[in-house]
């Protein structure tokens, strides 16, 4: 049985009906990892013994009485992978950085606690761009990740490992984090579905911080239903996270099959201007036509401040990164380089521990926060961020959701942009503004250009992930099934 071709939802139902055990499922995915990992490089760590032990435990309780001990049964017995910046107790958690190469988690992140209470084995940690800084997964200190559709190309980043493993059938579902598109962009480039929830919808407790006002944990999978089940498990208020919002979590599965008749979808004209590949634009407009046939109304809207999104985002995110990463000094956290002089020890530990991209963003961040430049850069960027947020608020009063591209290009070749940071940063032009506004967004596979996946991005109002799931699920029904690479 080719379990790696099935969705997490299909596997969950098979386990529930006792057609297969969690142990058999977990072993099947571990076998798939062993066969394909050398080609893909999606994992930073795999936990075969631990995952199988957890699966056996869940199998022993796969009965009416045993399941009552768990908070949620939606993915009971289905193995899940974690991005390598989400802490789990007793597991190596490195954020793909040399400075944390020996760090073993001493507690579980809130999302991990919730997954364990839902009966999901943790199969391993997903490779990523170091400290989630990158758009290609070439900034990992461990190894680069390959796109399963074309092994010479990148899977996107920073959650490229999470995306690639789902597309390659190495895991049915994987958690990621999204600071400026780090779930949605790799989802687009690998033909998977990726959700960035509303800021505050999912607890960030236990997520290694990059940009604290931007970071949000989400997930990648092969179907919208998989993500609806996963978000049902991990969403909700957490008193351990000061940014967590106490808003009721709806039943996401109930919303999947709602009628789209009369739903208003906005097309921001600024997102279809210069820079977007014409073939990608055609796929997106074909998708718009499919949604019209489902009953949706299409309206052009404007987001005039979106042209400032990239520069605003990189000022704010770099400033927050510089602040957050100051804790890694070789004393309290991370690898320490030996030196009798304390100051030199700090410098050597950080110099050898951090990669080039992380150093670049720390330097930019410290510069824009420094005396004499704070008002000119960081303060001004914060003001523009408010204008970007107001743009979205105005547009979402006219329509129910917005539809945009996710990436201006398909997956690019490895090495193509790594020496040109500006070109790399421009790859996030359609995603970063959503993080600055704190809105939810989902990337859904829409078609192909030259054999490479293309996605559409749906952006909703605050805490309306249910509506995004509804549209995405209905669209999947008319788009047709995707056949993922065999490798």
Which of 9, 135, 158, 318 is labelled catalytic?
158
Using the predicted structure, report yes or no on whether residue 1 has a pLDDT greater than 70: no
pTM: 0.96
Query: Residues 395, 437: contact at Cβ < 8 Å?
Result: no
Which of 9, 28, 182, 244 is labelled catalytic?
182
Lowest mean pLDDT among 61-65, 386-390, 437-441: 61-65
The per-residue pLDDT for range 291-325, each reduced to its tens digit, is 999 999 999 999 999 999 999 999 999 999 999 99
Token pair in block for residue 315? 């000022």
Say how many C-beta atoms besides its own lie within 10 A of residue 210's C-beta. 26
158 is catalytic: yes
Q: What average pLDDT does range 451-480 have in this prediction?
A: 98
182 is catalytic: yes
Please spell the DSSP secondary structure of 27-92, one letter per residue.
Answer: HHHHHHHHHHHHHH--EEEE-HHHHHHHHHHHHHT-SHHHHTTSS--TTTT--EEEETTB--BTSB
Which residues, 6+ apart, have CB-to-CB distance to 216 below 8 Å? 177, 178, 179, 196, 197, 198, 199, 201, 202, 204, 435
Which of 83, 114, 125, 222 is labelled catalytic?
83
Token pair in block for residue 418? 């790594």
State whether residue 437 is helix, strand or coil: helix
281 is catalytic: no
Give me the percent of the chain exceeding a pLDDT of 70: 100
Q: Which of 246, 149, 231, 229 is nearest to 183 (CA)?
A: 231
Q: What average pLDDT does range 147-175 have in this prediction?
A: 98
Element (H, E) at 366: helix 356-369
Query: Residues 146, 153: contact at Cβ < 8 Å?
Result: yes
Provide the CB-side half-sphere exposure for 32 (13 A, CA). Answer: 26
The per-residue pLDDT for range 212-224, each reduced to its tens digit, is 999 999 999 999 9
pLDDT at res. 289: 97
Query: Residues 197, 216: contact at Cβ < 8 Å?
Result: yes
Query: Residues 290, 255: contact at Cβ < 8 Å?
Result: no
Q: Is the preceding peptide bond at 282 cis, omega within 30 degrees of 0?
A: no
The per-residue pLDDT for range 84-140, each reduced to its tens digit, is 999 999 999 999 999 999 999 999 999 999 999 999 999 999 999 999 999 999 999
């Amino acid at each position: 049985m080719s379990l790696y071709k099935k969705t997490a939802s299909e596997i969950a139902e098979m386990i529930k009906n006792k057609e297969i055990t969690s142990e058999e499922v977990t072993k099947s995915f571990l076998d798939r990892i062993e066969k394909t990992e050398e080609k893909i490089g999606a994992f930073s760590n795999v936990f075969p013994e631990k995952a199988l032990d957890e699966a056996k435990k869940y199998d022993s309780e796969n009965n009416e009485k045993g399941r009552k001990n768990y908070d949620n049964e939606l993915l009971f017995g289905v193995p899940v992978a974690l991005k390598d910046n989400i802490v789990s107790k007793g597991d190596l958690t490195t954020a793909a950085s040399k400075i944390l190469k020996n760090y073993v988690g001493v507690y579980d992140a809130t999302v991990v606690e919730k997954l364990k209470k839902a009966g999901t084995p943790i199969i391993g940690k997903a490779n990523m761009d170091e400290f989630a800084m990158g758009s290609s997964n070439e900034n990992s200190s461990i190894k680069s990740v390959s796109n399963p559709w074309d092994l010479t190309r990148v899977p996107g980043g920073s959650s490229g490992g999470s995306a690639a493993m789902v597309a390659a059938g190495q895991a049915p579902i994987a958690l990621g984090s999204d600071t400026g598109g780090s779930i949605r962009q790799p989802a687009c480039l690998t033909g998977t579905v990726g959700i960035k929830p509303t800021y505050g919808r999912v607890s960030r407790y236990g997520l290694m911080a990059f940009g604290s006002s931007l970071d949000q944990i989400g997930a990648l999978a092969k179907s919208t239903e998989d993500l609806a089940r996963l978000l049902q498990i991990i969403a909700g208020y957490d008193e351990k996270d000061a940014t967590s919002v106490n808003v009721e979590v709806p039943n996401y599965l109930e919303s999947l099959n709602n009628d789209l008749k009369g739903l208003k979808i906005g097309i921001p004209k600024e997102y279809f201007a210069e820079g977007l590949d014409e073939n990608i634009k055609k796929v997106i407009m074909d998708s718009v036509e499919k949604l019209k046939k489902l009953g949706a109304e299409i309206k052009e809207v404007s987001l005039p401040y979106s042209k400032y999104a990239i520069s605003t985002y990189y000022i704010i995110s770099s400033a927050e990164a510089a602040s957050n990463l100051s804790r890694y000094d070789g004393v309290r956290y991370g690898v320490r380089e030996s030196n009798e002089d304390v100051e030199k020890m700090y410098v050597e530990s950080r110099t050898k521990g951090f990669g080039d991209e992380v150093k670049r963003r720390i330097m930019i961040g410290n510069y824009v926060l420094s005396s004499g430049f704070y008002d000119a850069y960081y303060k001004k960027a914060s003001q523009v961020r408010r204008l970007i947020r107001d743009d979205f608020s105005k547009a979402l009063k006219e329509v129910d959701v917005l539809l945009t591209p996710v990436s201006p290009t398909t997956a690019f070749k490895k090495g193509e942009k790594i020496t040109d940071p500006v070109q790399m940063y421009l790859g996030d032009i359609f995603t970063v503004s959503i993080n600055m506004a704190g809105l939810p967004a989902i990337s859904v596979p829409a078609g192909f250009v030259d054999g490479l996946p293309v996605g559409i991005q749906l952006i909703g109002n605050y805490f309306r992930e249910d509506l995004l799931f509804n549209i995405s699920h209905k669209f999947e029904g008319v788009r047709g099934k995707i056949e993922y690479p065999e490798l």
